[in-house]
Structure 1
Amino acid sequence: MEQSNQPNETINIAQIIKQKNLVAYFQPIMSVTGKKILGLEGLIRGIIPGAEKTIPPQQLFSAAHTAGLTIPLDRACRDAVLSAFLDYYQVNPDLLLFLNLDTAIIDEVGGSNYLCDQVDKSGISPKNIVIEINESKALNTSGLTQFVTTYKNKGFLIALDDVGAGFSNMDRIAGLKPDIVKIDRSIIKDMDHIYHKQEVFKSLVNLTNKIGALIVAEGVETRSEAIQVLKLGGQVIQGFYFAKPGNDFVLKAELIAKTAEVVDAYKALLLKELDDYNQKCLAYTQTVNGMIKALAVVDHPDEFDGQLTKCLTGAEAVDCAYVLDESGIQCSDTVGAKNIGACEKLVFHSAKMGVDHSIKNFYYNLIKRKQDTYISEPYVSMATGSLCITYSRVFRLAAKKYILCVDFLETQQPLAAQLP
């Protein structure tokens, strides 16, 4: 069918609802690590009476809103989706149906039993129904909470949709304790090479893990994005990479095969990254060893700065370096391979001699856990604003223990460039 671009006023929404001129579309939601189809999201298209043209959902609901028919349309859409899903459910009784619910309706009708009655009549178990709601659009927080509690008690699953877009409230997400959290496409898009999106996604994974929810990455369109989801702790994916929504969806074996391809590519990436990491650590160790050798022959800690400056001349991989005493107090200046003062953002300042670093991981893990070497996760340096890792190593001078800290610049390559 063709898609209509008619303006709202030419759509007879009342007739569409009365005659049930609606067709259900489905998009698979894939458990990549489980190598299976976890569920289908039910979507809807209107059909122009007497024409072979479909009406996109945004246009359909806009017309219903204008005519004051949002609730009847929402209910008619659910009837169409439940009816169409029954065939898939009978083939696979474990399949989930992700059913969209206009959150504004919750504000209007509260926790009515209409949805329960619809599901009862459909012959589908409530445990197979995932009610998708967009919490950011709900004005009545207490009403939303009551709705979620009521339907969870009836056996339904609750999913929060479009999390990470617009004004998603993290406190509200934690308070509602959904079964599933769907991460919006705005976070997923280009996440394979945009570092701050990776950090947002990891934070959402941590939050969902703590509230006992499953995370679904929405809008995944490329293999690189799919692999990045796995890399950051996600396991379930929805998006064009696997399949576009369709009204003739078939539970194809090709979809399962595609999950296996993603898992295999991810495994290959892990092996490559491990090899790259080992090579990088070897280069880091050689640099640090040379610096410690130079520091260990001075007569007094006052000479640390001069030796660090000599060692870092031409060391393009090093952001900066400094020395701590056994108590975690910085006993050298922060010496940079490049001009640290070139950073114009006032929030970033290199630490000076006398600063206490005793609560930092690169100190605590060495002294309190009695390790000789510590390598941090990547982070933004407060000295220069660069993404870096800190490599710290214990050394001795005149029977006293010191810690050399070297910040190595960390590059973030697009995931696609890393794939074998």
Structure 2
Amino acid sequence: MLGIWREELRITERENSAIEKELNISEIIQQKSLLAYFQPIMSVTGNKIIGLEGLIRGIIPGTTQIISPLLLFEAGNKEGLSKDLDRACRDKVLAAFKPFYQSDQDLLLFLNLDTSIIDEVGCSNYLNDQVNQNGINVKNIVIEINESKAKNTLALMQFVDTYKNYGFLIALDDVGAGFSNMDRIADLKPDIIKIDRAIVHKMDYIYHKQEVFKSLVNLSNKIGALIIAEGVETKQEAIQVLNLGGQLIQGFYFSKPVEEFVFSEALLEKNIDIVEEYKAFLFRELEDYNRKCLKYSQTVNRMIKSISTYDVSEFNFQLLKCIQDSVLIDCAYVLDESGIQCSETVGAKHSSICEKLVFHSAKIGVDHSIKKYYYNLIRRKQNTYVTEPYVSMATGSLCITYSKIFKHTNKKYILCVDFLEKKEPISLSNEESDFKITNNM
């Protein structure tokens, strides 16, 4: 959540300036003039709160004036007191978490660590002692690390190994934001990967964010880590997290960080609502997919019927006639039985725009035999094949390829049609579906 205890507060520059003048970080640390806030982490599929992230606010001693985390930690860093401030914050959060732990000894506490101090403290036993002194099992503590703040990779890895051996869980925070080092995920072998809000925000309709999220889910599955989606603010974002393989969610949609957190039925009701909406979404998605496949099949069959009555030399002209008025088709081409292209790549409206740089249409004679839309037809003896969405090298458009075998003068050919793929925002069950397919053929 924006790093070490730093969930962002919206305060004006004037308020910041006034607080900075009164801010005595040494006094705050000595008096532990700090407030612990908690934000729940939900297991949507398990329908329960699996843990709380502890966050911190400072208070100007003798007042009720709240200090934002950003100002608090900047002041600690400026005065060379980052280590002392970090330890004071952990004391406050652990003490505030203790009653929750006593009520539910399966509950996890996500405890932020200022990774920049690891070079200074090394593998000291201080954090382990803090947890034990509060009577909390170390297995209930998840240490959140923002690896990009660590200057010494070796010291970071030694710290992680030491605390894993104690029984602590390790979470990598803010993954996908800024300059997160993907190499360190494999090196540190975290138990949990927290995907940053920068990826989750508007992920319900921004395609490249969906692909990044899916990649991180696949990576986490392979290394045995759990995924938590941070910063989920809308029901649509929550549904997309589930759709892309995530199960654990943290964010304002469920609850903002609050000082007096209460386990309420409202949180579980929101969770149940997401599950029901996700079921409805899956049903609509399946119906949409079936409709698209039917439309694709009808279109391809008409094209095959049209071109198969003409000589191979006429394929280009006939393909152009078939697709010139279509808003659904990006381009089309024909392969022979061995996967060699025997027609030009004929485009509807898009090829002339994108025929530059890395995007170029395949020409007659190009070998497509290692492409899935060829290989799965011939080697697996399928008659048709539909790819996953991908970026076309012919036009740069997001598309799927529908390929189908047809016969012409006793020879096998394959018609490949690239259909434009448009990723629609997730619509909720009480909203009208935005999905439409248009074909002007």
Q: Contact 1:8–1:62 at 8 Å: present in 2 too?
A: no
RMSD: 1.5
Residue 144 (structure 1) aligned with residue 144 (structure 2):
no
Q: Structure 2: 5+ residue runs without aligned partners?
A: 1-9, 432-441
How far has the Cα of 1:332 moved from its partner?
Answer: 0.6
Quick one: which of 340, 361, 365 aligns to 2:351?
340
Equivalent-residue separation in structure 1 for 2:99 and 2:205 (angstroms): 40
Q: Contact 2:277–2:428 at 8 Å: present in 1 too?
A: no
Q: Contact 1:45–1:55 at 8 Å: present in 2 too?
A: yes
Aligned to 1:74: 86
Q: Contact 1:380–1:387 at 8 Å: present in 2 too?
A: yes
Quick one: which of 326, 351, 357 aligns to 2:362?
351
Aligned to 2:175: 163
Quick one: which of 225, 228, 231 aligns to 1:219?
231
Aligned to 1:330: 341
Residue 248 (structure 1) aligned with residue 260 (structure 2):
yes
Equivalent-residue separation in structure 1 for 2:403 and 2:265 (angstroms): 50
Identity of aligned residues (%): 68
Aligned to 1:117: 129
Equivalent-residue separation in structure 2 for 1:294 and 1:418 (angstroms): 40
Residue 405 (structure 1) aligned with residue 416 (structure 2):
yes
User: Could you tell me which amino acid in structure 2 is paired with residue 266 of structure 1?
Assistant: Y
Quick one: which of 185, 189, 198 aligns to 1:186?
198
- Mean Cα displacement is larger for which, 95-104 or 333-342? 333-342
User: Could you tell me which amino acid in structure 2 is paired with residue 331 of structure 1?
Assistant: C
Equivalent-residue separation in structure 2 for 1:339 and 1:244 (angstroms): 45
Equivalent-residue separation in structure 2 for 1:58 and 1:306 (angstroms): 65
Matches within 5 A, 1:11-410: 11-298=23-310, 300-338=311-349, 340-343=351-354, 345-410=356-421
Aligned to 2:5: none
How far has the Cα of 1:8 moved from its partner?
Answer: 3.2
TM-score, normalization by structure 1: 0.97
Q: Contact 2:337–2:414 at 8 Å: present in 1 too?
A: yes
How far has the Cα of 1:11 moved from its partner?
Answer: 0.8
User: Could you tell me which amino acid in structure 2 is paired with residue 48 of structure 1?
Assistant: I
- Mean Cα displacement is larger for which, 97-106 or 275-284? 275-284
User: Could you tell me which amino acid in structure 1 is paired with residue 372 of structure 2?
Assistant: N
Equivalent-residue separation in structure 2 for 1:342 and 1:71 (angstroms): 57
Equivalent-residue separation in structure 1 for 2:209 and 2:147 (angstroms): 21
- Mean Cα displacement is larger for which, 2-11 or 98-107? 2-11
* Secondary structure, aligned partner of 1:355: coil
How far has the Cα of 1:398 moved from its partner?
Answer: 1.7
Equivalent-residue separation in structure 1 for 2:122 and 2:403 (angstroms): 58
Q: Contact 2:355–2:361 at 8 Å: present in 1 too?
A: no
TM-score, normalization by structure 2: 0.92
* Secondary structure, aligned partner of 2:105: coil
- Mean Cα displacement is larger for which, 207-216 or 332-341? 332-341
Equivalent-residue separation in structure 1 for 2:327 and 2:233 (angstroms): 36
User: Could you tell me which amino acid in structure 1 is paired with residue 169 of structure 2?
Assistant: L
Equivalent-residue separation in structure 2 for 1:407 and 1:183 (angstroms): 33
Q: Contact 1:217–1:238 at 8 Å: present in 2 too?
A: yes
Equivalent-residue separation in structure 2 for 1:48 and 1:10 (angstroms): 7
The number of residues matched between the two structures is 418
How far has the Cα of 1:419 moved from its partner?
Answer: 6.8
